[in-house]
Every structure is written in C-alpha cells, then in structure tokens.
C-alpha cells in the first residue's frame, strides 16, 4: 500500500461534536484540538473524515492546532472535513487548499516514481503538461 494514496485502506470518521463545548457546540480551544489529535491514533487508515455535524462554530486556534499538527507530525494522515456549516467554512478554506496541494504533490511524486508522468502528459493531465 502506498502511504501517500488515501484511496487505499479504510476510512475512519471522527465526530467532532463529541469534542465541542456542550453549551455552545463550539470548537474553540487548543485543548479541544489536542483531544481530537489524541483520538487520531485510535483510528485505522490514513483517510480520516472530520464530521462537523452538530458543531456550530470553530476557532482559528482549534483549526490551526489540529491541521498544523497533522501537517507537521502525521503527513500520511489525510483529514477530510465534512458536514461543516458556512460559519466554519472560512477557517477550513486554507486547510482544504493545503490538503489539495498535498494531494497534487503526492500524485506528482507517485507518477514520477512509477514512470506514469510521461503517460499523464500524453493524456493532457494539467500537472504534468510541459
């Protein structure tokens, strides 16, 4: 199994409402992010969905700590936010962009390692066109 290929292996889900404040339904602290980080080790696979169902808001402190830790310490883990509301979207946009860049980079590296880049260029893949 290629560790940079999130399509392989089981998908795990973390229900973030379990970590949110019971009164405000918010994820607004580094402490909450660290609790989520601790739960990552108990999940199988490298593709983990973060289910924001029931979460009303999130802070930059929470998202920066969670996504920053994963980018630095767990580069083979791919976090995929789901079911988030429009108030949370702006905080996630930057992190979703980083995820996309990492996917593109992983695809390019894998295509070079397998010799696929030449065939991708012939097929017109935008990442390999010269």
Residue-wise pLDDT for 55-78, tens only, equals: 999 999 999 999 989 888 887 788
> Beta 11-15 vs 26-27: how paired, if at all?
unpaired
What is the per-residue pLDDT for 8?
47
Confidence of residue 47 (pLDDT cuts 50, 70, 90): confident
What is the per-residue pLDDT for 32?
98
Q: Looking at the predicted structure, is the pLDDT value of residue 9 above 70?
A: no
* Phi–psi pair at 121, nearest 5 degrees: -65, -40
pTM for the model stands at: 0.71
| % of residues, the chain, pLDDT over 70 | 78
| % of residues, the chain, pLDDT over 90 | 45
Strand, coil or helix: what is 42?
coil
Least confident of 40-49, 62-71, 75-84, 101-110: 101-110
CA proximity to 53, closest of 90, 19, 16: 16
Strand, coil or helix: what is 78?
strand
């Amino acid at each position: 199994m290629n560790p940079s290929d999130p399509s392989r292996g089981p998908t795990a889900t973390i229900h973030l409402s379990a970590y949110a404040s019971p009164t405000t339904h918010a994820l607004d602290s580094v402490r909450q992010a660290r609790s989520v980080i601790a739960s990552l080790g108990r999940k199988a696979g490298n593709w983990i969905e973060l289910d924001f169902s029931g979460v009303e808001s999130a802070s930059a402190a929470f998202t920066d700590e969670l996504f920053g830790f994963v980018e630095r310490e767990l580069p083979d883990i791919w976090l995929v936010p789901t079911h988030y509301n429009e108030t949370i979207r702006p905080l996630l946009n930057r992190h979703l962009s980083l995820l996309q860049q990492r996917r593109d980079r992983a695809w390019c590296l894998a295509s070079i390692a397998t010799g696929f880049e030449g065939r991708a260029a012939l097929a017109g893949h935008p990442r390999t066109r010269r």
